Amino acid sequence: MKKRRKKHTGLFVITAFLMVTAVVLFVGRHTIVQGIKTKVATEVGKKMLEKQIGKSINVGGQEINVSDLVDQMEEQDVEKVTEIAEKYVSPENIKQAADFAASKDVEGLKNLLEGQITQEDQNELEELYYKYKDQIHNYVP
């Protein structure tokens, strides 16, 4: 009598699926890692800004949630603001800067920053201000 040989089709399908999954994860690892880094950087930026200025800022008598503003910023912009805030700015100064930004008082903002930070950091903050100044009013309730 001849023994019947098993074909192990189920095992082959599972092995093939696992191999395809491994290849997809290996090929897409940079995208996955970059996505994780972006999310972490945004969350760290939020926490740093909230630590510096609180969960909300008062702009023109209205409370604005800092997290909502940060969510609309690009990752590298959040990182820039966080770095600069850690180096130079006290919580009081950030609140004053936010008030100047909301009222579009560029001179007041310049006077606040003048003498406290390097010219390079000042230029970066001015670029960010002009990039996001119109979005602040979208968050005033």
Asked if residue 28 is part of any domain, the answer here is: no
Show pLDDT as tens, one digit a residue, over the chain (141 residues). 566 776 778 888 888 899 998 888 888 888 877 777 666 666 666 666 666 566 666 666 767 676 777 777 777 787 777 777 667 656 666 667 777 767 777 677 777 766 677 888 778 877 877 787 776 666 555
pLDDT of residue 137: 62
Asked if residue 11 is part of any domain, the answer here is: no
pLDDT of residue 76: 79
pLDDT of residue 19: 92
SS3 call for 51: helix
- How far is the CA of 63 from the CAs of 3, 43, 68, 77, 98, in angstroms? 80, 21, 12, 22, 11
pLDDT of residue 60: 64
Residue 98's domain comprises 45-139
Are the beta carbons of 11 and 17 closer than 8 angstroms?
Answer: no
pLDDT of residue 107: 77
Asked if residue 108 is part of any domain, the answer here is: yes
CA distance 58 to 15: 58
Per the structure, the count of domains in the chain is: 1
Q: Which residues contact 91 (CB under 8 A, 6 or more apart)?
A: 52, 53, 54
CA distance 55 to 16: 50
Asked if residue 58 is part of any domain, the answer here is: yes
pLDDT of residue 123: 82
Are the beta carbons of 38 and 17 closer than 8 angstroms?
Answer: no
- Residue type, position 134, single letter: D
Asked if residue 118 is part of any domain, the answer here is: yes
User: Which residue do the tokens 């092995």 mark?
Assistant: 15
pTM of the entire predicted model: 0.42
